Structure 1
Amino acid sequence: MSFNLRGAIMANIKGSTDQEVEATIVDAMQKGEEKMLPGLGVLFEVYWQNASEEDKNAVCQQISQGLQ
């Protein structure tokens, strides 16, 4: 029996408002729990799939700067 974690997360957050998405991100970061990382990864995947090349480049630049 396999469990589709990505699908479960997507089903859980589908239809979320801007404010609910922000609250989910802030809550996950404040709690710092490892179990929240897959959800943040799915949110980032949704962002990436819908971002322009310019937005993708900007995010990559911001992330790489933050890793310095």
Structure 2
Amino acid sequence: MEIIDLRQAIVRRVQDNSAEELSEVIEDSVGADERALPGLGVLFEMIWQQSSEPEQSQMVNSLYKHLHHAENANPSQ
């Protein structure tokens, strides 16, 4: 019996998806049941690792702005 970790399980579940299917996975997971959050985290980790420093900085700045605007501070919105 092969033992795989959560990251591997998530990657295997989506690795053969088309770009459109990946988009649907993300759209369906955002704001949905909290059980989807680890999967989104793994996908974000993959994006982060393949991003340049300027792209990472842009993502951090976007998140910072989102977190520091009172009307957007609630993550369940």
TM-score above 0.5: yes
Give structure 2 stretches of 5+ with no counterpart.
69-77
- The ranges of structure 1 where at least 4 consecutive aligned residues each deviate by more than 3 angstroms after the TM superposition are none
Could you say which residue in structure 2 is the equivalent of 1:44? 44
Q: Is 1:67 aligned to 2:67, yes or no? A: yes
Could you say which residue in structure 2 is the equivalent of 1:33? 33
Rg (Cα) greater in structure: 2
Amino acid at match of 1:4: D
Distance 1:63 1:33 in 2: 21
**TM-score, normalising length from structure 2?**
0.78
- The RMSD of aligned alpha carbons is 1.4
Distance 2:50 2:19 in 1: 15
Distance 1:3 1:35 in 2: 18
Deviates more, 1:10-19 or 1:57-66: 10-19
Percent of pairs with identical residues: 33
The count of corresponding residues between Structure 1 and Structure 2 is 66
Q: Which has the higher helix share?
A: 1
Give structure 1 stretches of 5+ with no counterpart.
none
Amino acid at match of 2:60: C
The structure showing larger relative contact order (alpha-carbon pairs under 8 Å, at least 6 residues apart) is 1
**TM-score, normalising length from structure 1?**
0.87
